[in-house]
Structure 1
Amino acid sequence: MGDPHRVGVVGLGVISRAYLETLADHPTVSIVAVADLDASRSAATAAVLPGAEAMSVERLLDRPDVQTVLNLTIPAAHAEISLAAIDAGKNVYVEKPLAVTFADGRSIMDRAASAGVRVGCAPDTVLGTGTQTARAAIDSGLIGRPLSASAVMVTPGHERWHPHPDFYYTPGGGPLLDMGPYYISALVHLLGPVRAVVGAASRLRTERVIGSGPRTGQRIPVEVDTHVSGVLEHVNGALSTITQSFDGVATTAAPIEVQGEAGALAVPDPNRFDGEVRLFALGSDEWRVLEPRAGYVGASRGVGLLDLVRADGQRPPRAGGEVALHVLETMTALLRSAAEGRRIELTTTVRRPVPVPLASVDGVSSLP
């Protein structure tokens, strides 16, 4: 395989722990530098990563041995850090969403194309056995021609558990930009790209109360819509309905269901890599659990970066920037549709990513 691919990590918040658990000991990559606005956090992370050096963001971007920047900053900083990394000649893999505006997302992809570098983007949960087994079932014809899908995420809001939830309720936050990437990315993998959207949204509370941590009881303002519903018109003619909400308590709806001419498919939570995929065939009288038949087994956050490294420019990464840009436009178009009260046609499209054969996470090193 040659030498490991050298990675620099920018942003060492809560989500970084999941990425580092996957990447720290994987033979495909070597984490050589870490950076965070909090220097003590950088130092603490480097201390448990052999071979990694703590440094400023500027120094990390200037290091010639950093081949790819893993951008785990808050969403509002995604575009700034990604563009700076691209300008420094680095590949970028960014936590979702690609950016908080479609214009910034487009700039990232255009700048990367001009610079000849690659862009990957979360979520990579869609590469696990859950979504990939569902895709394999659809592609093999188990439900016949897919006609429609539903995607539902309902929670009472992240302020109940997150000690610093402010950014979830400021521009760039909200349930759609926060959780929508998981659901819409899965729908793109399952049914293909989106042609147009119609959306509706509401914001029925002007403030939220922090429920944990040192700021418990503090009230924070709500500046974004907290319940978003819409219809996605896929290029293949299928219609997906989507609900993403911080305004509910619970739901009995499956995270994703796909209806076809010959059956229905219940797809597990796209915020997870695995989970049961269930089939109800036309004429049957019960749901049947499908054995995993595709996807990275035992995957965790960071497998999308490994997949990007393995792609090596020979194919689009399965968790690639093109998909992320299309998902970002789908989300921002839904919000525009809700605000303007009209159907909006998208300007981007994307091919369904190459499916993932059933393989171990270690097998990413040799998977085509």
Structure 2
Amino acid sequence: MLSYRVSKYIFSVGRFNSYDTVLVHSGFITDLLPHCAPSSAISFNPGSREIFLQPRFLWHLLRLMRKHSRQAASLGAYVRSVRAKAVIAYDNIPDLYDWASALPMPLIVVQHGMRQLEPLETTIGQTSNVVFLSWGKLQIDEFSSGFTARYPNSSHHRKPEQIIPIGSLRDSMYRQVRNEVNRDLNQLCLVSQFKGLDGHGLTLPRERQVNLDTTAEFTHRYAVERNMKVLIALYSDTPQALQAEQNWFNEKFEGTCVFNQPSEDFATYRATDESIVSLGVHTSVLWEVFGRGGRMLACNFTGDGVFKFPIPGPWYLENGSYEDFATRLDALRAFSDAEYSNTCGDLPTYLISYDPTRPTTQAISDTVSSFVNDTR
């Protein structure tokens, strides 16, 4: 297909190749394309300014635009033009559930991180044309209880027609390659959520800044009092941002903390596995630590629902003082592995489903294949 640019638009002319699957582009996160194999797949961005000067595409585009948004119509027209039998995307695209209504088949939506929920229950009558591949059974209970994800999650005030728990893709990829880990009983891992500085502090809502500051300060005090090491699992992936992040933590910890190497594959996961307890403000990484049976402490010093861990227990601290924080960490460190496992029970797999005989990568591939082969 030949393409040429006119002003802000790209015009493409020629015949469409056929593909089994269309992947809706959703930014710089773990690529779903390799996990669609053995089905053939192609990525498409409905928000692009590309216009296909091809009769089949234009006919479907104009027809669908009578009832749908331009992006939804563009996706629907493209899927029909390449004769795809499956469409897949992450759930971080705000209007994704609405786009699904323009498709001739249900849209496969993969959970890419923890879903922050609205504080009040919502009655959602109509289901969307979506099959949701969730992290765990928790999401089934959330939807059935009327809790909806906050915007910009694609399920905001929407619900899928089917939910299939498959686990976290990135976590599953790590589990398949990780070796035996030597856990340091005298090391804490603080999972960073650094977003940058503006000269007055973190460029984040006040509640998150308070949580980040308090967690870092309490962790430093605890480590000094117990003579423990603190490993910071860094967040940034560019040299300039990484240096700013390290400078911020060095100031908070008075130069006593150490850092992992974020450029290495699964660096954060390895850092958490190598430490006796991982802690931080509520993040997807801590969900995954808990799902692997690791000890973790999710901190919520402002009581904001955004930072609430969905499963109560010794692994979650809300509105606590330093003494509460220290007592909780002491208790987590004192558990034997068997005691901690008994305390958790089946909650880790409720939060993050994982089947070593059918890891998440395979579950995604199987789901796509069931659409392509019409066996679902």
TM-score, length-normalised on structure 2?
A: 0.36
Relative to its length, the structure with more strand (as a share) is: 1
TM-score, length-normalised on structure 1?
A: 0.36
Higher RCO, 1 or 2 (CA under 8 Å, sep at least 6)? Answer: 1
